[in-house]
């Protein structure tokens, strides 16, 4: 039985992917083999030695200590694309409400009623304060052209917008998802110079922290509207507030409110609604559970943020799953040790990601515990699992 500890409420559709004959699942599970989590903070959580993998039902993983997981050979999964449609729709909403100041207009109407005014008699005069531009024939800049960014770019084209995209790490698969009419630029400053609306869709890390800062605002088209449904730290809040006060930025829609931002008259703050749809929560839960199950049962890695993706159809009678450092001659050391004991390798796959690597080895015969212990004793090997 695999022990799976849940943090937060995981959609039932995801939990149903874990066969109760093979999995014990719950928030009170101890000595867990796997963790299913959404937004719960695991940064200070003490992982048991038994923990093999963490699956995050969502895209961001800043609530998980990736370095510590990598050092312990714990695979961390995310669910890229599972919430993409939900975020795409909220981006459209954000562009519209920032253009027409829909929240301000709603407040104004309610204020008239609360003041005892016949609202129907004042709307024609009052609406002038909320005039704003249409999206049609405006330019949208999309920073990050992954699963979400590509959907946003494509649907903006269907609204009659001109779309510029920037992604220095654009993959072939992502490029194929993009409509050919999206202008992909190599310099983000070209996007800043052209865009009437800008929306980042990038992961938050040390490289992207405060990516949109005072220098970026200075490069932007005056009066730009900025939408941030990615992560709060991608934008330098102090520089943003200065840009809003100066009129360089007309409106800022954020899914990551702070007290300082929320009180500004040109900020529309949302309570982290990006993926808050039942469809998104279900998609994320299903994807996370399937990633976790495939890793525990077959050793396959798909959509890991700290280890390379390695997937191999099962063959032979035993599979070795080896997490190790990405250093020279590791593969030779592993195969030499197996060859020493006369073990035939039927199939093998090895890939690396940064400082770490992962090797799957299918064997034509079972090996004894002594061989496994010798593998574990190899320098730079972090974790070894045997799957029959």
Task: Write out pLDDT tens, residues 94-133.
Answer: 999 999 999 999 999 999 999 999 999 999 999 999 999 9
Mean pLDDT of 35-62: 95
**pLDDT tens digit sequence for 127-162:** 999 999 999 999 999 999 999 999 999 999 999 999
Q: What is the C-alpha separation between 123 and 127, in angstroms, rounded?
A: 6
Point out which residues pair with 348 in neighbouring strands.
361
Average pLDDT estimate for 28-49: 97
pLDDT at 30: 96
Question: What pLDDT, on a 0 to 100 scale, did the predictor assign at position 205?
Answer: 85
Residue 92 has a CB neighbour count (10 Å cut-off) of 15
- Render pLDDT for 203-260 as a digit per residue (tens, 0 to 9): 888 899 999 999 999 999 999 999 999 999 999 999 999 999 999 999 999 999 999 9
Task: Give the SS3 label for residue 236.
Answer: coil
Q: Are 142 and 181 in contact (CB under 8 A)?
A: no
Per-residue model confidence (pLDDT) at position 171: 86
In the structure, what pLDDT confidence band is assigned to residue 173 with cuts at 50, 70 and 90?
confident
pLDDT-based confidence at residue 340 (cuts at 50, 70, 90)? confident
The reported pLDDT for the residue numbered 341 is 81
Nearest Cα to Cα of residue 144 among 171, 107, 117, 115:
171
Angle at 336 between CA 335 and CA 337, to 5 degrees: 90
Q: Which residue has the higher pLDDT, 58 or 255?
A: 255
Q: What are phi and psi of 177, to 5 degrees?
A: -75, -20
Q: Has residue 279 got a pLDDT over 90?
A: yes
Please provide the average confidence, as pLDDT, over all residues in the chain: 96
- Scanning 195-272, the segments in alpha helix (DSSP H) are 214-219, 237-246, 259-262
SS3 labels along 268-298: EECCCCCCCCHHHHHHHHHHHHHHHHHHHHH
Q: What is the pTM of this model?
A: 0.84
Comparing C-alpha atoms, which of 235, 234, 230 is closest to residue 148?
A: 230
């Amino acid at each position: 039985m695999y022990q799976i500890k849940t943090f937060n409420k995981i959609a039932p559709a995801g939990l149903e992917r874990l066969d109760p004959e093979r999995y014990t699942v719950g928030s009170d599970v101890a000595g867990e083999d796997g963790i299913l989590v959404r937004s719960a903070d695991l940064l200070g959580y003490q992982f048991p030695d038994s923990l093999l993998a963490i699956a995050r039902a969502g895209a961001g993983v800043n609530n998980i200590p990736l370095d510590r997981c990598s050092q312990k050979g714990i695979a961390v999964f995310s669910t890229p694309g599972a919430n993409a449609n939900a975020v795409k729709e909220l981006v459209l909403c954000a562009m519209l409400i920032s253009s027409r100041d829909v929240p301000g207009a709603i407040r104004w109407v309610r204020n008239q009623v609360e003041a005892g005014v016949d609202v129907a008699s004042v709307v024609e005069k009052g609406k002038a304060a909320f005039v704003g531009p249409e999206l049609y024939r405006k330019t949208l800049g999309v920073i990050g052209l992954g699963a979400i960014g590509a959907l946003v770019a494509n649907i903006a084209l269907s609204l009659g917008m001109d779309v510029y995209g920037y992604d220095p790490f654009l993959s072939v698969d992502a490029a194929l998802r993009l409509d050919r009419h999206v202008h992909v630029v190599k310099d983000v400053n070209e996007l800043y110079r052209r865009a009437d609306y800008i929306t980042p869709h990038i992961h938050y890390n040390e490289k992207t922290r405060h990516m949109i800062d005072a220098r970026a605002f200075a490069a932007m088209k005056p009066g730009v509207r900025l939408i941030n449904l990615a992560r709060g730290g991608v934008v330098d809040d102090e520089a943003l507030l200065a840009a809003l006060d100066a009129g360089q930025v007309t409106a800022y829609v954020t899914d990551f409110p702070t007290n300082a931002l929320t009180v500004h008259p040109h900020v529309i703050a949302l309570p982290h609604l990006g993926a808050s749809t039942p469809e998104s929560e279900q998609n994320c839960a299903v994807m996370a559970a399937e990633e976790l199950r495939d890793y525990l049962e077959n050793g396959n890695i798909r959509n890991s943020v700290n280890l390379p993706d390695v997937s191999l159809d099962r063959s032979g009678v035993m599979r070795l799953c080896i997490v190790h450092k990405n250093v020279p001659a590791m593969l030779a050391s592993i195969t030499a040790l197996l060859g020493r004991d006369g073990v035939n390798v039927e199939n093998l796959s090895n890939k690396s990601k940064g400082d770490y690597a992962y090797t799957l080895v299918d064997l034509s015969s079972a090996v004894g515990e002594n061989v496994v212990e010798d593998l574990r004793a190899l320098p730079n090997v972090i974790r070894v699992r045997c799957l029959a």
